[in-house]
Each structure stands twice: as C-alpha cells, then as structure tokens.
Amino acid sequence: MSQYILALDQGTTSSRAIVFDREGGVRSAAQKEFTQRFPRPGWVEHDPLEIWSTQSGVAQEAMTRAGLRAADIAAIGITNQRETVIVWDRRTGEPVYPAIVWQDRRTAGLCEELRARGHENTFREKTGLLLDAYFSGTKVRWILDHVEGARARAERGDLAFGTVDSWLVYHLTGGELHLTDATNASRTLLYNIHTGDWDDELLGLLDVPRALLPEVRSSSEVYGTTAEGLFGARIPIAGIAGDQQAATFGQACLTPGMAKNTYGTGCFMLMNTGPGAVPSANRLLTTVAWQLGGERTYALEGSVFVAGAVVQWLRDGLGIIRESGEVEALATSVPSSGGVVLVPAFVGLGAPYWDPYARGTLVGMTRGTTAAHIARAALESIAYQSADLLAAMGQDSHAPLRELRVDGGASTNNLLMQFQADLLGLPVVRPRVTETTALGAASLAGLAVGYWQDTGDITRRWQVDRVFEPRMEEAERGERLHRWRRAVERSRAWEEGETVGS
C-alpha cells in the first residue's frame, strides 16, 4: 500500500487531522471542536490537555477512516494557531496555567509600559513585529508573574514554554522533545529573525529565562518519532509551521513576490519576500515564512480584522439573511451596491491604517437602498480591505505581483473573488485543494522524508480550480477605490472623537 502524510491542524476553535496522498489529495479528515473560555473581559483561554486529547483523537480517527495503520503514514506535519502560549512542567507534562490564546488582551498594559520606556523600535527591528499583546512574549511574562512559584521553577529549568506546536511535539514524543520551528518562534517577540536565535536583550526586557525556551529548528526536518504505543508504531514527526505560513507554503507561493490571502473570520495576507527580511513602512509585519535547512525565507504579513465576520453580522446583527451561505444570492440580486459603502471597522482598522478608534460606518444610502445593496457592500468591503493590504505590500516590497492566490471559507464566493480581481487589476487564483494550511504542513513533512523530492514537486502538484480575471476598467477601479477611502476616513477616530466631544 502506498504511504500517506498525516497533517495535524490545531486551530483556535477545533483540532483537525487530514490524511493526504502523493498527489496532495485528501484521503480522509476528522475534526473536533474544543472549549473556549472567557474568564474576564478581554481574556481568552483554552485547556491545554483538551487541545492534546482532541488532536490525538482526531489523528487516530482520520487514520481509521482511511483504513490506515501507523505503518502506512510516512510522516506527520503540524500546523497550529500561532501566538497561543502554554507553560508546563517538563517532568510531568502538566500545564501550570491554561493556554493564553492569541486573541487575549490582558497584557496590553505591559505593552504600553514597554513603549513608554522607549523599547518599541528594539522589538520592531529585531523581531519584525509590533509591540502588541497579540504576540507570545508578554503572555509568557504574565504567567511567570502571576502563577505562584512559576518564575523560580522556570529559572531552575523545571518548566517549559511553547506555542501549540511545541506542546503537541512534547506529547507526541512522550516528553522526549521540547522544540519549535522558526515560523512559530518568529511570532513570540523573543526571537531575532535576523540571527535565527532567541535574543538575550529581548529576553531581558520581558524578563523571560532562556531555560524556559524550546530549541528552534527548521520547518522541514525529522525531529523525532511518536512515542511507542501512541499510534501502534513510531511515525516520524517531520514538519512544523504556523498556520498562515503553512497556508502560504501549501499555496506554493515559493518564489519572491508571490502572495496568498486567506479569507476567514478575518483575512491574512502573506507575500514571499525571499531571503531578505523586508522592513515595512506601512506597519505590516515582517516574519519568517519558513526555514528549509539553514535557509530562512521571509514574508510580509498583514491582516484584515473583519472579513467573513461581516457576513455573520448581516446574519446575527441585522437579520437580513438566515444562513451565511445566502449572502451571495442576495448580493447578486442587484447589479451593484447602489453607491453604498460599508467600512466594517467593528473592532478598529488594521493595516495599513492601524486605528483602534475607527468604528463601523455605512455611507451612501438613499431611500432606494435595500438589504441586497447592503449585502453587496458587505462583501465588497472584504475585497476593498484586502486591496489596501496588497497595495501596502507592493509599496514595501517593490515587487510587482502577477496574481493573488486565495483560500479560506469566503474564497468559495464567486462574486467576492471576481470583485477582488477587478479591484486589484490582477488574476485571483483559487486552488483545487482548499485545505491549504494542512497541505502546507503535510508538504513540509513530506519533503523531509523524501515523500516529495523537492519544492518543484510541491509546485507541480498545486492545481487551479478557477482563475478570476479582472474585467473592470481602470477609470472605474480608481473611482471605486477613491470612494472607499473617503468612507474609511469617515470611520476613523470615531470613538476617540466621541470621547473628546462628550
């Protein structure tokens, strides 16, 4: 029997496992949601043991569904929610505190304090990241400061810190390995993306002991094998990448200037910038895309806070659709938005604006405006925000983009994808296999064990489902983008202005 690759896709709300064949096709899949905890406003936590139990459970389920044994699996690849933090006892594997999730904002005050002390540029220059509670480093510091005895145990080397990939590898190997890959390390505020190592100055600023940290390895290599008895036979663990980097690899964006956009609750856009870490003048993130052998490839990353979530708002907030899948039919029932523009700045605006005080704005309505016009404006807002991101990336990278590769749930919406192509003036390309995050992890693992020979194999088996070619005239594109930016300006500083005026 031909061997297969097993990808473990550990996400924010569920654990998934997918078995891929040699052509990159899905042989089987399994998924299980786990508990979201919100102990205080702005706090988000997971149970690390539930993450492990659901992930190990779906791994076994996916193999069983495909009629496979452990001996049929050539390697395991791991991809994960990125900045979520777990600290555990090295000997027992017991977490000392719940996982603090990437969405958690409890350390925003610490970030403000570090900025006030003049450290923002140090973090920016060494890590490529903004000094924000989104990233892992301040979360680690919080656990050390608030869990009784944790700091002393960490300094003695009794505790281990890791992002979710490290936690899974530790348990997959029965506690033998404590490691991470360069993509996940690059999201911690503790890792110098230029030297490829943990940075002593950053560790000092965040007061995190080096003894706590995992070893940083490449994204594609055989790290070790699963523990005896876990799956019935030892399986090599051979690939690790954070979810957005894995999706970029799975989309075969393997040469500089190639970019992908994942349309989920928000949007994550990454552009391959090759062996150079490109600093951003537009407050995009500079991050490690992957590391193969000793060579790091870098990317620019930007995020749209509200993408698919705007459709949920139409459903749950306005009640103009009953199911999210109805939005395309409603939007296509009118030929245009009728001049209506929606800026879905419900939680502020991300790159390139970075305005936490912006708020959602609906402009251009008349007595003739209908629910269909608002639905169309909502879909168009996703494409407008992505166009802003791509323009910022083009300015930073000075690399002409030939096409945008797309994935994620909303990429199945043909109206949205066509409008995206029209706004960009570029082809938008949707792949046949949309499980790009898991496919990227599988690809990294498969390369490490010779299942695929080289990155040329990855490129060759990437297949197109549909190409959306731009149809809009340049004059109309410019007019629409101008109208969008006028609407954005009306949304900006709204909350701040209200506070000042009251």
SS3 string of 372-432? HHHHHHHHHHHHHHHHHHHHHHHHHHCCCCCCEEEECHHHHCHHHHHHHHHHHCCCEEEEC
Encoded tokens for 442: 């599988």
Q: How far apart are CA 236 and CA 265, in angstroms?
A: 33
Q: Pick from 446, 435, 455: which is nearest to 18 by CA?
A: 435
Q: What is the DSSP letter of 98?
A: P
Q: Is residue 265 a known part of a binding site?
A: yes
Q: Is residue 121 a known part of a binding site?
A: no
Q: Is residue 149 a known part of a binding site?
A: no
Residue where the block lists tokens 């499980």: 435
Q: Is residue 4 a known part of a binding site?
A: no
In contact, 237 and 441? CB cutoff 8 Å = no
Q: Is residue 136 a known part of a binding site?
A: no
Q: Is residue 82 a known part of a binding site?
A: yes
Q: Is residue 385 a known part of a binding site?
A: no
Residue 305 φ/ψ, nearest 5 degrees: -70, -40
Q: Is residue 244 a known part of a binding site?
A: yes
Q: Is residue 413 a known part of a binding site?
A: yes
Q: Is residue 409 a known part of a binding site?
A: yes
Q: Is residue 12 a known part of a binding site?
A: yes
Q: Is residue 14 a known part of a binding site?
A: yes
Rg of the chain over Cα atoms, rounded to whole angstroms, equals 23
Q: Is residue 16 a known part of a binding site?
A: yes
Buried b (16+ CB within 10 A) or exposed e, 333-351: ebeebbebbbbbbeebbbb
Residue 3 burial (CB count, 10 A): 15
Q: What is the DSSP letter of 71?
A: G
Cis peptide before 470 (omega within 30 of 0): no
Question: What's the chain's length in residues?
Answer: 502
Sign of the four-CA dihedral 206, 130, 48, 52: negative
Q: Is residue 255 a known part of a binding site?
A: no
Write out the binding residues for glycerol: 82-83, 134, 243-244
Q: Which residues are annotated as a binding site?
A: 12-14, 16, 82-83, 134, 243-244, 265, 308, 312, 409, 413
Residues within the annotated binding site for ATP? 12-14, 265, 308, 312, 409
Known binding-site residue numbers for sn-glycerol 3-phosphate: 12, 82-83, 134, 243
- Residues belonging to the binding site for ADP are 12, 16, 265, 308, 409, 413
